[in-house]
Chains A and B, each alone.
Chain A
């Protein structure tokens, strides 16, 4: 199959269908509406079902019901709608049900706007709903990467019986790029012998619940969940580094911001400033390794985000005082430009030279 030109939101939808997702429950919200529309057209073709729910709350609970039967199921939304899904996501975690939840993040807080943002980073990486939990979060930076990560999101969900979040910003959802849907890699996945499908003579009845009235029992259950999170941390970290080998300063950015940052890095390199990039692909688990490897060598890090400074907290934790950590961010749906990021690099990395040049 050759390359096709598609919109980001549609790529997520098509990649999900090709990953075997036949059920989608969603509610319209900009900037992810193309995803819902694509699913409405596409799923009947593969014998699946698209259902527009009455709200994001209903949608995530329909996902809960469908996931409990053992099928691959997805919902998608954007920030305000994603907030509404939090109780349901917490239940998915508590009942250990696999599902993929897409958040195409827009400017907030409140109704905010429909421009691209990354300001739901805290919400997706630190739990989001009630209780002690983390969810794997994948943040693609290109449409081709969406194809791979959507497939992986479903595998991770099934492997660990957990919801997985696919996080993009409005830019990624709206941009058009040529993509190729290659052969899917099929991983070995555990059998879903826990699914509630009616017993049909195949053994004892099954129960899906997150209720555990006894404190000791709930603590035991939490311990098991924490063990699972530790396994995910060990096995599901994804990131990419770019020109970090000789770097004095390392930029940290994810999603589309990483692409703009790479352009700023090229410009800085032309000026002889040695900058590199760490691009987290899994936002949780956050990639600590590339920081451990560089934090005693580099002079500092600059986190670039479409938020008031959220991922930068994880960068500081990973760097743990071994080097300076700086931040540049734009909020409210404003996309940082290559030039702004370049100027930030100059102000931090090229400090003395920059001032020198300006003093003439």
Chain B
């Protein structure tokens, strides 16, 4: 009797068990990126750049050459790699503290220069790794370790909408915001990641996919509630959709 393989793990990921908390969608996003790299058959042509955050060990999981960047500097590191190896694929995998706070300058300038890299931007509205402090993306009213009474516009200001901001730059070729909170959206997220890498392949410019992601541990919610929280609270603040598609515009 022969058995039919109905599902197998992507070769885009290594066999190392991930360290993410139960219900954390970092793992799902890893799989999507791994699948896209496998399906495009570019694993051997790719150099990934891990950032500082819960995904710092992503270099243990992505099954390609990897380098680990200082907090916020992944787009600069990726620039260095891509400028030497313009025919390879280069991506960064960054959290919202890493990208939107300490590293906002690097990502803006990488986009402005039209660096032909792909940024995987995981927005969970919090600093996961350091224990749940406010991120630039933390929602108004959201309680964190450093906004114990909820984020207050008059004190901490308003959240940064990265896709909206970067899409104003001419060097940005593909910008989309997606979510990892249910199957349908996860499939959409994968298509977005594929389009971002295709954009890089065509040499059109900078590409980024922002994925709304959970952090049950620091949100103080269970995995199911966390998925609901994305739908009910994050999506209204961070509308999903394609913010820039240079190719589509042509």
A22 nearest CB neighbor, chain B only: B84
Give the chain A neighbours of B84 by CB distance below 8 A: 23, 49, 65-66, 69, 71
Interchain CB contact under 8 A, B73 and A69: no
CB distance from A99 to the nearest CB of B (A): 10
Stretch from A5-13, A191-199, A335-343 forming part of the interface with B:
A191-199
- Given A49-B83, A198-B45, do A88 and B70 touch, yes or no (CB 8 Å)? yes
**Interface segment, one of B56-64, B161-169, B210-218:** B56-64
Cβ-defined contact, A197 with B88, below 8 A: yes
Which residues of chain A in 75-126 are interfacial with respect to chain B, using CB atoms and an 8 Å cutoff?
Answer: 87-88, 91, 95
Interface residues of A in 197-234 (CB under 8 A from B): 197-201, 205-211
Which residue of chain B has its CB nearest to the CB of A65? B80
Beta-carbon contact of A64 and B106 below 8 Å? no
Whether, in the assembled complex, B49 has its beta carbon less than 8 Å from a beta carbon of chain A, the answer is: yes
Q: Kindly state whether residue B240 has any CB partner on chain A within 8 Å.
A: no
B: contact size bracket = 35 or more
Of residues 39 through 83 on chain A, the ones whose CB sits less than 8 Å from some CB of chain B are: 49, 51, 53-55, 57-59, 61-69, 71, 73
- List of B residues within 8 angstroms of A62 by Cβ: 76-77, 79-80, 83
Is A286 interfacial (CB 8 A cutoff)?
Answer: no
Evaluate contact between B68 and A211: CB separation under 8 angstroms: yes
Contacting pair A198 B70 (CB below 8 A): no
Cα distance A206–B82 in the bound complex, in angstroms: 17
Could you tell me how many residues of chain A have their Cβ less than 8 Å away from some Cβ of chain B? 38
Please, how many angstroms separate the alpha-carbon atoms of A95 and B68 in the complex? 9
User: Does the CB pair A58–B106 fall under 8 Å?
Assistant: yes
In the complex, which residue of chain B has the Cβ closest to the Cβ of A59?
B76
- Per-position binary interface string of chain B over residues 141-180, scored 1 when its CB falls under 8 Å from any chain A CB and 0 otherwise: 0000000000000000000000000000000000000000
Roughly how many angstroms separate A123 CA and B108 CA in the complex, as a whole number?
Answer: 30
Residues in chain A near residue B76, CB distance under 8 A: 53, 57-59, 61-62, 64-65
- Is B81 on the interface with A (CB-CB < 8 A)? yes
Residue among A54, A61, A88, A95 with the highest chain B CB neighbour number at 10 A? A61
Q: Which of B70, B76, B109 has the most CB of A within 10 A?
A: B76
Secondary structure of the A contact surface, majority rule: mixed
Residues on B with C-beta less than 8 A from A69 are: 47, 80-81, 84-85
User: What per-residue 1/0 map shows which CB atoms of B177-201 lie under 8 Å from chain A?
Assistant: 0000000000000000000000000
Q: Are B44 and A198 in contact (CB under 8 A)?
A: yes
Contacts of B47 in A (CB 8 A): 68-69, 196-198
Contact of B78 with A by CB under 8 A: yes
Closest Cβ–Cβ distance, residue B195 to chain A (whole Å): 21
User: CB < 8 Å: which of B73, B77, B79, B88 contacts A198?
Assistant: B88
CB nearest neighbor in A for B102: A57
Contacts of B70 in A (CB 8 A): 61, 64, 87-88, 91
Residues on the B chain within 8 Å of A49, using CB: 83-84
User: Are B66 and A65 closer than 8 Å at their CB atoms?
Assistant: no
Residue numbers in A under 8 Å from B45 (CB-CB): 198, 200
Q: Chain B residues near A199 (CB, 8 Å)?
A: 43-44, 64-65
- Determine the chain A residues whose CB is within 8 A of the CB of B57 once the complex forms: 211
Interchain nearest-CB distance for B73 vs A (Å): 4
Among residues of A, the one whose C-beta sits closest to the C-beta of B48 is A196
In the complex, what residues of B have CB within 8 A of residue A291's CB? Answer: none
Q: Which residues of A contact B43 (CB under 8 A)?
A: 199
Q: Which residue of B lies closest to A213 (CB)?
A: B57
Tell me the minimal C-beta distance from A131 to chain B in angstroms.
13
Is A254 in contact with chain B by the CB < 8 A criterion? no
Contacts of A88 in B (CB 8 A): 70, 73
Known: A196-B67, A200-B45. A64 touches B77 (CB 8 A): yes
* Cβ of A25 under 8 Å from chain B: yes
Residues of B within 8 A of A198 (CB): 44-47, 64-65, 85, 88-89
Q: Which residues of A contact B49 (CB under 8 A)?
A: 65
- Assuming the contacts A198-B45, A207-B59, A209-B59, asked whether A63 and B80 have C-beta atoms less than 8 A apart, the reply is yes
Cβ-closest chain A residue relative to B52: A211
Tell me the smallest distance from the CB of B185 to a CB of chain A, in Å. 30
A152 to B105, CA, bound (A): 34
The 10 A-B residue pairs with the shortest CB-CB distance in the complex, in nearest-first order: A65-B80, A61-B76, A209-B68, A66-B80, A62-B80, A65-B77, A196-B65, A61-B73, A54-B109, A208-B67
Residue positions of B touching A, CB distance < 8 A: 43-47, 49-50, 56-57, 59-60, 63-70, 73, 76-85, 88-89, 105-106, 108-109
* 21 A-B contact pairs sorted by A residue (CB < 8 Å): A49-B84, A51-B83, A53-B109, A58-B106, A58-B109, A61-B76, A62-B77, A64-B76, A64-B77, A66-B80, A66-B84, A68-B77, A69-B80, A71-B84, A88-B70, A197-B47, A197-B65, A197-B88, A205-B63, A208-B66, A211-B56
Known: A57-B73, A64-B69. 18 other contacts (CB 8 A): A49-B83, A54-B105, A55-B105, A61-B70, A61-B73, A62-B77, A62-B83, A65-B69, A65-B79, A66-B83, A68-B77, A196-B47, A197-B47, A198-B64, A198-B85, A206-B66, A207-B68, A211-B57
